[in-house]
Chains A and B, each alone.
Chain A
Amino acid sequence: MTALLEVEGLEVVYGHVIRAIQGISFSVGEGKIVGLVGLNGAGKTTTVRAISGFLPTENVRITDGRIRFAGQSIARLRPYQAARLGIAFVPERDKVFDTLTVRENLEVALTATTLRGDEPGRCRRYRSIKDILDLFEALARRADQLSVFLSGGERQMLAIGACLLTAPRLLIVDEASLGLAPIMRRQVLDMLAQLNREFGLTVLIVDQDVGGVLSIADHGYILENGRVVFAGSREHLLQHGDVKEFYLGQKEDRERGYRDVKQYRRVRRWH
C-alpha cells in the first residue's frame, strides 16, 4: 500500500498551553477510505486542520511531527497551496458561501483551482458545474437559489460537489454526518463510498459516528485525548471488544461494572 498522506508523531499546542494533539501517527493509502473517529474533543478536527494548513493562523502551533502528502512535506504550506495540491476539505461548519447561489458556489471552486499539466492521481471525473448538478439532483433544482436556503443535507452535497470540482486527490470530510438525519447520514456515507469505488478517490472521514464510518472505511483510527488509541482495518476494529462496547454500544457477553469502565478509561488516558 502506498501512502498518499502520512502523519507522523504530530503534536499540536493551543496558545502555548494545551497539548491538543499528543503525537498522532496515521496514514491514508492511495485509493482507500480511512476513518478518523472519536468523541468530542478527541483532537480529530485539530488534526485535519493541521493537514489542510490552517493552524498557523490561529494561535495554534504544530510543535512536532511530520505531515507528508504524496511524498512532499506540507506542514508549512498555506491553505490555498494545500488545496491546489489536491487536498479538498469539507469543513465542519461554514462549508458553503451563504450569500452566493448554488451555481456561484461551484464556480468559485472551479475558478480558484487551475490545474497545471497532467498531474497524476487526481479525480477528474467532475469538470463542470453541470457534472455536479447531474450528480446531485437536489442541487440542480435549486441551482440559482442562494445557498443560505439549502437544507443541511444539501449543504453537505454542495460542499462535497465544490470539492470534486477542484480535482481532488484526497477528500477530507470533517463531521460528514453532523446534524443530519440518519437517512441523510447514510446517503452521504454511501455517496463517499461510491466516489471511492468508481473513481478511486481517496477519502479521509472524520466523524463521531464510529459505526457509520466503519461501515464504509477500509481503515480506522480511534482518537482519545489527542492520541490514537485503536487502529486497524475495519474488520479488526469491528471485532475488537473495547471498540464494540465503548464506541458501538454493543454489550459483551460478560457485563462490565462501573469500576471496570473507569479503570478502562484510566488506562486509555495514560497508555
Chain B
Amino acid sequence: MVALVLTTVASWGIYALLGIGIVLVYRTSRVLNIASGEMAIFIGYVAATSIQYGLPFPVAVLFSMGAATVLGFVIFWFAIRGVMGEPPHVGLMITVGIAVILNGLMIVLFGGGMIAIPAGLPAFTTIGQVQLPTPDVVATIGAWFSIAVIAVIYRLTNLGLQMRAVAERVTLSAQRGLNVDRTVALSWIVGLLAAGLAGVLHGERSFVALSASAIGISALISCLIGGMDSLKGVVIAALIVAAAETLTARYIDPRYVLIAPVAILLVILIVRPWGLFGTVEEIRRV
C-alpha cells in the first residue's frame, strides 16, 4: 500500500515537473509545447548514454542539464523567436516539428532502444518498518525538490517577476525596458531543464525509450486539466492524472493506463473548457 502511494507520488512529481515546463513556456511565449515528452526523453538519453560512457550518476545528471540548457536556447533562438506574436497554431505546429526531429535524433544518436539510467543505489530503501523501492524515492525527492526550486524562482526572484510580467503583457514589459526575448529565452531554458529532469527521473525509475515520450502526453493532459496558465493547477491536476493511471494499472488493466486520464480530460473540457484553475482568455478588442 505504501509502495503504491509512493509510486503515485513519484509519477505525480514527474508529470507536475514536466507540466510546469509546458506551462512556463506557454505563459511567456504562448506556444503550446507538444514536444515536451520528446524533449524529456532526449535529455534522458543524454544522461543514460553518459552513464554508459562511465560517468557517475550525479555527474551524468549535471551533464544532461547542461545539454538541456543548450537545447532550450537553441530551440528558442532558431524556432520560437521568429513566431512569437503569431497565432497559437503556428507555434504548436513548430513544436510538432521539433518532436519529429527529436525522435529522429534519438534514433540516430542513441539508437532509440530501451536504456536504464541506474542511480547506483541499492534496490530498496528501508525507512522504519517499510521497505520502499529506491528509484521511486529518488524520483520523488528529485521531482519535488525541483518543483520547489522553480516555484521559488517564479515567486521570489526578479527573473520570475519578469516572466510573470511578460506572461501578462508583452508590450508593456518592453515599454518598461524589459528585454522580452531574453526573458522568454530563459523561460524556455527553465522549461527544458524541468522537462529534462523529468526525463532523467523517469529513466531512473524505469528506462528511457522512444515510447517513453508518452509521459509528455500525461503531462499535457495535466496542463489541460489544470488550466494552461496556472502552475498551481498543473500540480494538482498532475495528481489526478498520476492517481488515475496508477489505480487503473493496479485495479483494472495496465493496458488502459492512458485512457483514464484522457477520459477525465474529456469531462473537464466539457464542464470547464479553460481547466480547473485556468483563466478564461478575455476577448480583446483588435
- Could you tell me the distance in whole angstroms from the C-beta of B212 to the nearest C-beta in chain A? 35
Contact assessment for A84 and B171 in the assembled complex, using a CB-CB cutoff below 8 Å: no
Indicate if A99 sits at the interface (CB-CB under 8 A): yes
**Chain B CB within 10 A, most for which of A57, A79, A166:** A79
Instruction: Give the number of A-B contacts (CB < 8 Å).
Output: 67
A residues less than 8 Å from B177 (CB atoms): 80, 83-84, 109, 112-113, 166
Indicate if B165 sits at the interface (CB-CB under 8 A): yes
B residues less than 8 Å from A94 (CB atoms): 169, 171-172
Contact assessment for A107 and B180 in the assembled complex, using a CB-CB cutoff below 8 Å: no
* Interfacial residues of chain B within 128-183, with CB under 8 A of chain A in the complex: 158, 161-162, 164-165, 167-169, 171-180
Contact assessment for A79 and B164 in the assembled complex, using a CB-CB cutoff below 8 Å: no
Indicate if B113 sits at the interface (CB-CB under 8 A): no
- Could you tell me the distance in whole angstroms from the C-beta of B12 to the nearest C-beta in chain A? 26
Indicate if A111 sits at the interface (CB-CB under 8 A): yes
Indicate if B85 sits at the interface (CB-CB under 8 A): yes
* Interchain CB contact (< 8 A) of B174 among A79, A99, A107, A162: A79
- Could you tell me the distance in whole angstroms from the C-beta of A131 to the nearest C-beta in chain B? 17
B-side interface residues, number (CB < 8 Å): 19
A83 to B173, CA, bound (A): 10
- Could you tell me the distance in whole angstroms from the C-beta of B82 to the nearest C-beta in chain A? 13
Chain B proximity mask over A105-134: 1 for CB below 8 Å, otherwise 0: 001110111000000000000000000000
Contact assessment for B175 and A104 in the assembled complex, using a CB-CB cutoff below 8 Å: no
A residues less than 8 Å from B162 (CB atoms): 108, 111-112
**Chain A CB within 10 A, most for which of B158, B164, B172:** B172
Contact assessment for A91 and B172 in the assembled complex, using a CB-CB cutoff below 8 Å: yes
Contact assessment for B171 and A100 in the assembled complex, using a CB-CB cutoff below 8 Å: no
- Given A108-B161, A108-B162, A99:B176 Cβ within 8 A: no
A112 to B159, CA, bound (A): 10
Chain B proximity mask over A147-177: 1 for CB below 8 Å, otherwise 0: 0000000000000001100100000000000
Contact assessment for B165 and A100 in the assembled complex, using a CB-CB cutoff below 8 Å: yes
Interface size class of A (residues with CB under 8 A): 20 to 34
Chain A residue with the shortest CB-CB distance to B180: A80
Chain B residue with the shortest CB-CB distance to A86: B177
Indicate if A69 sits at the interface (CB-CB under 8 A): no
* Interchain CB contact (< 8 A) of B158 among A91, A95, A111, A162: A111
Chain B residue with the shortest CB-CB distance to A78: B174
Contact assessment for B176 and A95 in the assembled complex, using a CB-CB cutoff below 8 Å: no
Chain B proximity mask over A51-72: 1 for CB below 8 Å, otherwise 0: 0101001000000000000000
A97 to B173, CA, bound (A): 9
Chain B residue with the shortest CB-CB distance to A57: B85
B residues less than 8 Å from A190 (CB atoms): none
A57 to B169, CA, bound (A): 15
B residues less than 8 Å from A52 (CB atoms): 175
Contact assessment for B168 and A112 in the assembled complex, using a CB-CB cutoff below 8 Å: no
- Given A80-B180, A111-B162, A97:B175 Cβ within 8 A: no
A residues less than 8 Å from B175 (CB atoms): 52, 54, 79, 83, 89, 91
A89 to B177, CA, bound (A): 10
* Interfacial residues of chain B within 53-86, with CB under 8 A of chain A in the complex: 85
Indicate if A98 sits at the interface (CB-CB under 8 A): yes
B residues less than 8 Å from A104 (CB atoms): 161, 164
**Chain A CB within 10 A, most for which of B162, B172, B176:** B176
A196 to B92, CA, bound (A): 48
* Interfacial residues of chain A within 186-219, with CB under 8 A of chain B in the complex: none
Contact assessment for B85 and A95 in the assembled complex, using a CB-CB cutoff below 8 Å: no
A44 to B169, CA, bound (A): 22
B residues less than 8 Å from A100 (CB atoms): 161, 164-165, 168
A104 to B172, CA, bound (A): 14
A97 to B99, CA, bound (A): 34
Chain B residue with the shortest CB-CB distance to A159: B172
A residues less than 8 Å from B176 (CB atoms): 83, 108-109, 112-113, 162-163, 166
Given A112-B178, A113-B176, A166-B176, 20 extra CB contacts under 8 A: A79-B171, A79-B174, A79-B175, A80-B177, A80-B179, A91-B171, A91-B172, A94-B169, A94-B171, A97-B164, A99-B167, A100-B161, A100-B165, A107-B161, A108-B173, A108-B178, A111-B162, A112-B177, A162-B176, A163-B176
Show 26 residue pairs from A and B whose CB-CB distance is below 8 angstroms, ordered by the A residue.
A52-B175, A54-B175, A79-B175, A80-B174, A80-B177, A80-B178, A83-B177, A89-B175, A91-B175, A94-B171, A95-B172, A97-B164, A97-B169, A97-B172, A98-B168, A99-B168, A100-B161, A100-B164, A100-B165, A104-B164, A108-B173, A108-B176, A111-B162, A112-B176, A112-B178, A163-B176
Contacts from A to B (Cβ < 8 Å): 52, 54, 57, 78-80, 83-84, 89, 91, 94-100, 104, 107-109, 111-113, 162-163, 166
